[in-house]
Amino acid sequence: MLLPDTENAPAALAVVKAAFAPTGGLDDMQQRLIDDMAQIMYGLDYGATADLTDEVLETLPYETRLEALHLMVVIELMEHPLRPEVAQSVLEFAEKLNLPIQLLEDARHLADDQIAFAYLDFQRHGWYAHETLRESTHGKWLELLRSKIAYIGIIPDEEIAQRWEALLVCPDGSWGRAVAQFYLDHKFPFPGEKHGIFEVGARHDWMHVLCGYGTEPAGELNVFAFIAASMNDSRGLVLLAVTLGLFQNGTIKHVGMKRIENASTDTLSIPGVLEQWADSFRRGEQCRVDVMGTVDLFAYKDMALDEARDFFGVVP
C-alpha cells in the first residue's frame, strides 16, 4: 500500500475528500480516520484542507494520485453497507484521474451484491495466491500441497508439523518461541496438523506476534493495516480489503473454503479501535523491511523478540 509522505499528505488527503464529495462526502467514521491519520502520521490539522478544483487535480503528480487512490479503497470499504452510488462515484473519480484499479471494480461488485464474483477476484489477485504460485515454481509445490491437505482436514503432515512444533524449543523471549506460544495460547493447531493453517497464511501469525496485535476482529484489522503499509507488493492492499470484508463491511464470511467464526461487522465503530487502526498504518509505514513478503522468518526464530522489532523497525 502506498501512503503519502508528509509533504504530499495534504494534497493526497484532499483528493480523497474530493472523491467522496459527489455522494455526500465522507461519513463521520471515514472523516475520523482521515483526521486520525493526518494527526498521528503527519502531525497535520486536516480540517483546514481546502477542496481541490478540477484544474489542480489534473496537475497532481502521478505518485500523489496513486497514494490517494489506495486510501480511497480503504475508506470506501469501511462503509457498511457499501452503497452502490458511492462505489460507482469513486470508481468514476479514479478513472477521471487515469488511475483504474481492480479493487475499485471489486468494491462496486460488492456494493451490487455480486459478492462471489468480487471474492474470487480478491483471491485471484491477492498476495497469498501469488506467493503460493511463486513458491510452487521454486520447488515447494509438493510441500505446499501437503500443507493445504492438512489445512482442510484430510491428512495431517507430520514433517511440516514437527518443524513448527520445534519453535517451542527456541530460547525464552525469542520470536520463534513467542510464535509457538501464540498457537498454544489460542488453541490453534500448528501448520501441518489437521486443520492447521496453510503455511503461506501462517506468515501473518509471525506478524501478529511481531506487532503485538491480537486475533480478535480489531487485532486482525490492525495487523493487516500494518502489513499493507509495510509491504512492497500492492497485493498487501488486497489482503486488507479482504480483512475489511470479514470484520467491517460484512461481505466475506469464508477464507480458503473455511468459515471464519469471528467474522463480524462494524468493528471500527468500537471505541478506541479506529484510532489504533490509524496508528497501525503509521507503524507499518515506518517499518524498514517488508517482513511479510521478503523475510525468511525461520532464519530469525532464535532472535529475541524485542531485538527483532528493533532490527526490522517495528516502532512501539
DSSP string, 188-217: PPPTTSTTPPPHHHHHHHHHHHHHT--SSH
Q: Which residues have C-beta within 8 Å of that of residue 226, sequence separation ≥ 6?
A: 207, 211, 213, 280, 281, 283, 284, 287
* pLDDT category of residue 153 using cuts at 50, 70 and 90: low
Residue 53 has pLDDT above 90, yes or no: no
Q: What percent of the chain has pLDDT over 70?
A: 85
Region 248-257: mean pLDDT is 82
pLDDT in tens, 64-104: 899 999 999 999 999 988 899 999 999 999 988 888 788 88
pLDDT in tens, 259-280: 888 999 999 999 999 999 999 9
Domain spans in the chain, listed from the N-terminal domain onward = 9-113, 127-312
Residue 126 has pLDDT above 60, yes or no: no
Residue pair 60/300 in contact (Cβ under 8 Å)? The answer is no
* Cα R_g (the chain), whole angstroms: 20
* pLDDT category of residue 108 using cuts at 50, 70 and 90: confident
Residue 135 has pLDDT above 60, yes or no: no
Region 143-147: mean pLDDT is 59
Residue pair 290/229 in contact (Cβ under 8 Å)? The answer is no
